[in-house]
Chain A
Amino acid sequence: MPDSPLLALRGVCKRFGAVEVLKDVELEIHAGQVVALLGDNGAGKSTLVKVISGVAPADRGVIEWEGRTVHIRRPHDARDLGIATVYQDLSLCGNLDVVGNLFLGREIRRFGFLDEMEMESRTIELLKRLTRTIPELRAPVVSLSSGQRQAVAIARSLLGDPRVLLLDEPTAALGFEQTTEVLDLVDALRDRGMGVLLISHNMGDVKALADRAAVLRLGRNNGFFNVNTASQEQIISSITGATENVPRRPATHDAAW
């Protein structure tokens, strides 16, 4: 495990009008680690992703990349550093085919014209690394399954050889098999030394995949956990803010039936 984190956030604040969405948030992502970002709805998870990806830059606080302070003001800045983001809505153009989507905005050209052959072969190469079921490359993306669309979106994010990948709810819309596939994929990326920030509501995913978990509650850090040693109850109570165990109905009540 490397000593200094790939990406570190120190005291990040973000305000939307009167609402302080993020307050003094700390976060570290190391190479070869999956960090789960957890929190209830409205805890500031998506905002934190937008801060890191440059869509909604931080108001205050420091972002460090490999130990030195950097400024992320635009999505471009994040991309240049090597931070790739897959948003929950995937940002795909449904009417374009797989190759078109992958290279949209960074088309490969030959003598000024699109080099479809090169783009296609690189698409195949990339998708082969990611998924067992390569979708039909020339089919419009709307006709793909949601798992395949997720794979296309992740493949696109990997085009620039990023070192940190932000995944916003990658398994939220997926079935069991597809979820497994995406989780395998994230696992493979970690093994290749990437740092991954995984936002998820699914504790199963987090337990299966993450090394560490950072919990946000009402825009503040509410605990860091080593996923391998912390209990699920500990993490959940940190998310919900409950100090005791999750309340249950007394057993006698059920017995009365």
Chain B
Amino acid sequence: MGMTQHADPAVTTPPASGPEQTDGRTAERPLAVRLLARPEVGVFLGAAAVYVFFLIAAPPVRDGSSMATVLYQSSTIGIMTLPVALLMIGGEFDLSSGVAVITSALTASMLAYQLSMNVWVGVIAALIVSLAVGFFNGWMVVKTGLPSFLVTLGTFLILQGVNLAVTKLVTGNVATDDISNMDGFDQAKKVFASTFDIGGVNVKITVFYWLVFAAIATWVLLRTKYGNWIFAVGGNKDSARAVGVPVTFTKISLFMLVGVGAWFVGMHQLFTFNTVQSGEGVGQELIFIAAAVIGGCLLTGGFGSAIGPVFGAFMFGMVNQGIVFAGWNPDWFKAFLGVMLLGAVLINLWVRQSATRR
């Protein structure tokens, strides 16, 4: 479905006089231009360019295991970027998504450890907490009409403080205790943090989750009623409400979906490192948002895809690891990202204009 959003009404073309559709003043746009107007095509080209660049600049990248590392790095960003992108298409964004990952991991870890229960109890409790945080964000945004920037900035600060304070209160330390000896840990590690051997290359399970989730998100966006609603509430929520779209439900559920993403990534981190640093996660939310924007999602909502953010996250992972493989100073990473982000925004702008210009 070709979906775009544009602030200004398009230029009015006079109607054709007769059965013909055009009056001779409109021309079919070239295929290349029409393809580029798809939200995911621009970022695909960008990702390919970055990949080729590092293939040349950093010879170790050509190795299969390096690629697995790049994909792993991309997947941990990418899994979270997906719900963030859906939320963005729905016209909102969430600044608390980075620390929410840590909140989820801390909840699972400390609950299970302090009560000496099976880790799955902690995992379920963490899911409930994450959903509750998402619900709170969504409910506040919908009910108060405040910009999601402000509401989630508040949640971001609250969670950041709570993460540190509660962890210190419970463990007397800034990190949680190692839970690797607890009941259910091995099982949970298999689910959230195992590694597969594919042709002699170790691939982390998150890579598969990432791609499966992306496929599901794409299907939901393009083939379900709910996907239609996401685009509608992001494009024009008053019109959507006027024709019977449950705007409140759509927005709150999108925030809760971000909660599910935070839970999933939080569990992955917990069962990878056995322990959680309570001060982490700050700044990650901007990485997710940037990856979604690079992936062709419009910050103002109503336009984007789920495939684009996959490539957006891949670009992040590629640059992150590529710099290391190339032997450069990793301090350059953020500068590189900034350039990529600005480039992507400019491409998006151009794409949006050419998509609505006919």
Interface of A with B (CB < 8 Å)?
75-76, 87, 89-97, 100, 104-107, 109, 112-114, 116, 132-134, 138-140, 142-148, 156, 175, 177-178, 181
Q: Which 3 A-B pairs have the closest CB atoms?
A: A95-B235, A105-B244, A95-B5
Distance, CA A132 to CA B12, complexed state (A): 17
Task: Tell me if B169 counts as interface (CB < 8 A to partner A).
Answer: no
Q: Is the CB of B244 within 8 A of A97?
A: no
Indicate with 1 or 0, residue by residue over B218-232, a CB within 8 angstroms of chain A CB atoms: 000011110111011
Q: Is the CB of B15 within 8 A of A97?
A: no
Distance, CA A156 to CA B356, complexed state (A): 22
Indicate with 1 or 0, residue by residue over B317-358, a CB within 8 angstroms of chain A CB atoms: 000000000000000000000000000000000000001111
Q: What are 30 pairs between A and B in contact, CB < 8 Å?
A: A91-B239, A93-B235, A93-B236, A94-B6, A94-B235, A95-B4, A95-B5, A95-B6, A95-B231, A95-B303, A97-B1, A100-B228, A104-B244, A106-B244, A107-B225, A109-B225, A112-B224, A114-B224, A132-B16, A132-B18, A140-B6, A142-B5, A142-B10, A143-B10, A143-B358, A145-B10, A145-B13, A175-B15, A177-B17, A178-B15
Our pick among A100, A112, A114, A156 for the contact of B3 (Cβ within 8 Å) is: A100
Task: Tell me if B2 counts as interface (CB < 8 A to partner A).
Answer: yes
- Measured as residues with beta carbon below 8 angstroms from the partner, the interface class of chain B is 35 or more
Please give, as numbers and ranges, the residues of chain A lying within 8 Å of B222 by CB-CB distance. 114
Most chain A CB within a 10 A radius of its CB, from B2, B14, B223, B355: B2
Q: Is the CB of A95 within 8 A of B15?
A: no
Expressed in whole angstroms, the minimum distance between the Cβ of B167 and any Cβ of chain A is 43
Distance, CA A177 to CA B12, complexed state (A): 12
Q: Is the CB of B356 within 8 A of A142?
A: yes
Given A95-B5, A133-B21, also A145-B355 (CB < 8 A):
no
Please give, as numbers and ranges, the residues of chain A lying within 8 Å of B234 by CB-CB distance. 95
Please give, as numbers and ranges, the residues of chain A lying within 8 Å of B223 by CB-CB distance. 113-114
Q: Is the CB of B21 within 8 A of A97?
A: no
Distance, CA A116 to CA B231, complexed state (A): 16
Please give, as numbers and ranges, the residues of chain B lying within 8 Å of A87 by CB-CB distance. 242
Q: Is the CB of A107 within 8 A of B5?
A: no
Q: Is the CB of A94 within 8 A of B16?
A: no
Distance, CA A147 to CA B229, complexed state (A): 25
Q: Is the CB of A138 within 8 A of B232?
A: no
Q: Is the CB of B240 within 8 A of A93?
A: yes
Interface of B with A (CB < 8 Å)?
1-6, 9-10, 12-19, 21, 222-225, 227-229, 231-232, 234-236, 238-240, 242-245, 302-303, 355-358
Given A93-B231, A104-B228, also A145-B5 (CB < 8 A):
no
Please give, as numbers and ranges, the residues of chain A lying within 8 Å of B355 by CB-CB distance. 140
Number of A-B residue pairs with CB-CB distance less than 8 Å in the complex they form: 125
Please give, as numbers and ranges, the residues of chain B lying within 8 Å of A106 by CB-CB distance. 243-244
Please give, as numbers and ranges, the residues of chain B lying within 8 Å of A97 by CB-CB distance. 1-3
Given A96-B231, A156-B243, also A181-B15 (CB < 8 A):
yes
Distance, CA A113 to CA B358, complexed state (A): 31
Given A94-B235, A97-B2, also A114-B302 (CB < 8 A):
no
Given A97-B3, A100-B228, also A147-B15 (CB < 8 A):
yes
Distance, CA A145 to CA B4, complexed state (A): 16
Most chain A CB within a 10 A radius of its CB, from B13, B227, B357: B13
Expressed in whole angstroms, the minimum distance between the Cβ of A110 and any Cβ of chain B is 10
Q: Is the CB of B4 within 8 A of A138?
A: no
Q: Is the CB of B231 within 8 A of A100?
A: yes
Distance, CA A143 to CA B9, complexed state (A): 7
Distance, CA A181 to CA B302, complexed state (A): 31
Q: Is the CB of A100 within 8 A of B243?
A: no
Q: Is the CB of B9 within 8 A of A142?
A: yes
Q: Is the CB of B240 within 8 A of A94?
A: no
Expressed in whole angstroms, the minimum distance between the Cβ of B357 and any Cβ of chain A is 8
Please give, as numbers and ranges, the residues of chain B lying within 8 Å of A139 by CB-CB distance. 2, 358
Q: Is the CB of B15 within 8 A of A143?
A: no
Please give, as numbers and ranges, the residues of chain B lying within 8 Å of A91 by CB-CB distance. 238-239, 242-243
Please give, as numbers and ranges, the residues of chain A lying within 8 Å of B229 by CB-CB distance. 104
Given A92-B239, A106-B244, A140-B4, also A133-B15 (CB < 8 A):
yes
Our pick among B2, B15, B236, B358 for the contact of A94 (Cβ within 8 Å) is: B236
Expressed in whole angstroms, the minimum distance between the Cβ of A50 and any Cβ of chain B is 12
Most chain A CB within a 10 A radius of its CB, from B15, B19, B229, B240: B15
Q: Is the CB of B5 within 8 A of A94?
A: yes
Please give, as numbers and ranges, the residues of chain B lying within 8 Å of A133 by CB-CB distance. 15-16, 21
Distance, CA A96 to CA B16, complexed state (A): 23
Please give, as numbers and ranges, the residues of chain A lying within 8 Å of B10 by CB-CB distance. 142-145
Expressed in whole angstroms, the minimum distance between the Cβ of B3 and any Cβ of chain A is 5
Our pick among A104, A114, A134 for the contact of B21 (Cβ within 8 Å) is: A134
Please give, as numbers and ranges, the residues of chain B lying within 8 Å of A94 by CB-CB distance. 5-6, 9, 235-236, 302
Q: Is the CB of B238 within 8 A of A145?
A: no
Please give, as numbers and ranges, the residues of chain A lying within 8 Å of B19 by CB-CB distance. 132
Distance, CA A129 to CA B358, complexed state (A): 25
Q: Is the CB of A177 within 8 A of B14?
A: yes
Our pick among A75, A76, A116, A177 for the contact of B15 (Cβ within 8 Å) is: A177
Please give, as numbers and ranges, the residues of chain B lying within 8 Å of A143 by CB-CB distance. 4, 6, 10, 356-358
Q: Is the CB of A105 within 8 A of B240?
A: yes
Please give, as numbers and ranges, the residues of chain A lying within 8 Å of B242 by CB-CB distance. 75, 87, 91
Expressed in whole angstroms, the minimum distance between the Cβ of B318 and any Cβ of chain A is 30
Q: Is the CB of B2 within 8 A of A140?
A: yes
Most chain B CB within a 10 A radius of its CB, from A87, A96, A138: A96
